[in-house]
Structure 1
Amino acid sequence: MAHVHSPGKFTDTSMYQTESGLNPALHSPALGAASRSRIGAGVYFLGMTSLLTDISAEMVASILPLYLFSVLRLSPFEFGLIDGLYNGSAAIARLASAYWADRRGRHKALAFTGYLLSALAKFALLFAGIAGWLSVAAVLLVDRVGKGIRTSPRDALIASHASAASVGAAFGVHRAMDAVGAIIGPLLATALLLWLPRRFDIVFLGSLCFAVLGLLVFGLCVQAGREGSATAPDQRQSLSLAAMLRTMRSPRFMLLVAAASLLSLFTLSDNMIYLGLQRQLDFDASYLPLLFVATACVFMCLAIPLGRLADRFGHVRVFLAGYLMLGLVYCLYVALPASGNIKLVVCIVLLGAYYAATDGILAALAVKQLPVEMHATGIACIGTLTSLGRMGSSILFGWGWESLGQEQAVGWFGIAMLAMLFLTVLLARKLGQGARSA
């Protein structure tokens, strides 16, 4: 992921450079006046849209394991299938949406369609459980397709509302507001379930309300930005799929795609990790959504320090260290005794640190590596492959859990994660050697 100037030593390259570092979370709590002046109001409206939509999404996501296991009585493999669909079904829709947006320049219209689909899915979720888990899976599929349709056009809109020097800051503002939604959503879900035990329909109704609010903010407040002037209509029409693929074949962009895809193959979803911890430690399942909150709080506390470390020691090192921390979660899951609170606290801290070191960086990296008319497609290319990798990861882990048991399946995933990290380092070294010999 970087030029290698000496054996085993990574340094930053242009892939990772912005005015103030590419970990967007570095900009989360407060931006200087100069940065604000270069970020359009549309970024904040997009952030508010994501905050409301994320409250809606996390209200569902944080109770999904509890709902599927305690109400619909799914097996670990069946849960892995639904979790895989939930994490990966947006992949193809995301790439197709991004390609269409880059050719037509209609980012807002496509993003609105995605938000609308997700809101409709929240409404259908109120009734899907009556017909069984396959109906729930179908509704979740529609919800994730909506997310796939909106994500890349939305990210392109964020870039269009910021100057070239403040793209990283714009993504940071958006991620900060998104993270607030990720905290509020599970808190609301937990409060509702404690007040009205097993009334999942009330949680789904609350999720629908926030989805509709997010849709209204996006439709009424977000402008189309500079997408129309960034790329002339004739130029957009001339963007064939073959031309896009040729542009995206740059070595650094391909390395970014390869590294992200390989690591995603053995990245367990939050749902899998939290559900496994709940079953291991045998705490009250009603408090399961609070694990999402705790992880989000750790993320927000560590984002700035890790962002500064990235600026000082290199984004590649911090990014890879994040995945090492995820590997440690796997190891501790297996090694520590299945009792007490120490295991739970350590795993949550490491998981939050993993997100702080890695989350949000891929979209900004793709924007820096590609011309403006291909921003949405480049972001979608990475998102598609990582989503497919995580879908496969959930299905594979669900099968391993049912066949081998939780601890054994997590142990094998930990070994595979270390192998993928080693392979990523080798890919980065090869790219660096090629650049020096050119």
Structure 2
Amino acid sequence: MNGSEQDADIWSTGDFSWLLLTDLSDDQIELLDAIWHLAIIEHPANAVGMHWPTWRDVDQYFFDLRDHEAGEVHQQLPSYSRIGIGPHGSPYGLVWRSEGAFVGPIPRDDEQVGLTIAGLVQLARHKKRNTQPLADDLVRIIRTLAQASNRIRRESRGESQPGRERELADYAEWLVSPRSDKPFVMPVEAIAQVLQKENVGVVKVGNRWVAQLGGTGLRKYLKIETAGDYLAQVGTTLSMPTGPYPHLEEEKEVQGVEQTGKTVFIVHGHDEAVRDRVDAFVQKTVANKVIILHDEDDNGDTIIEKFEQHASDAACAIVLLTPDDVGRAKTEDELRPRARQNVVFELGYFAGLLGRRHVMALVKDHVEQPSDLSGVLYIPLDSGEWKRKLERRLKNVDGISLRD
């Protein structure tokens, strides 16, 4: 099979995993490393941030390092730019460009450049930089977007609802905010620039980065865990990985965290933004499967049968008390915000099934709280401490494994 036939075959399968397996020259490795080096910003408080550099800075840094031009090396990086536009709508490789290949084969001086998910993995593989966890974090954001998009379609009874905009920051917040055990700050802008070039529905609207959800294009990412999983699905929506790729399988075994049989069950009302925000944080924090009942198949069961089946597998429950209803006692005049009746029912169900210390309630605004469930941990969502408090409680639940 000649080169063009091979390219065409890869396009038809949509499997870009070979980008992780291709051996790079020393110059190519140093070019990726130069981009990463210039992107990293040291902050006074022992935190690390980033801002993708311009090609001018990369070219100058690379010339000082290797004593020749970066442009020629860039052109030889493995990508699809040599065969034109692919199913992404733009060439895809190890390096993204803010302007794309439409302005020429070599980036302009003022263009921003950065590493794609494949580029981050290749840099970790060849240069031993700690970029693999970031690649997997970005993939988890894509999976979370796919799950949110799938919920929108389910709520519209399976009909495609493209163009439903959500703030990207709601799904990427755990990568933006530093944690004591992971002082890395990747601004939404830097995250969005990568995801925009990954063609997962992330676009800039005015000064905001949003995810366009509700269509069918993200369905293939519902089960992805690693960069290898993601790149095997990058092509057409009808494709499946063609493999096998022994290197990727070994990588997945080493980097993945084994899921236990127990799950984290999230109970929610009508506030989709809160649901998706908490789901994204929990997915990032625990290795266990996270259950949102609406996302699970019915398999012919009634709603209560489906609920009981998944509840029996739960190690703990996170209940979102959001002001979706209002109500009052007969002796009162003022209506007060309340959670949905099914949410209150499931809160009590899990308190009886698992014990109150295995139930965590996240409270938005001034929602009424059940008065006879002392021992349940109530955490205000309006405070900046909800993530830390929730993670600390999850850490102490039997059957729950936290990600590294």
**TM-score, reference length from structure 1:** 0.26
**TM-score, reference length from structure 2:** 0.27
Q: Quick check: which one's strand share is greater?
A: 2
Larger Rg: 2
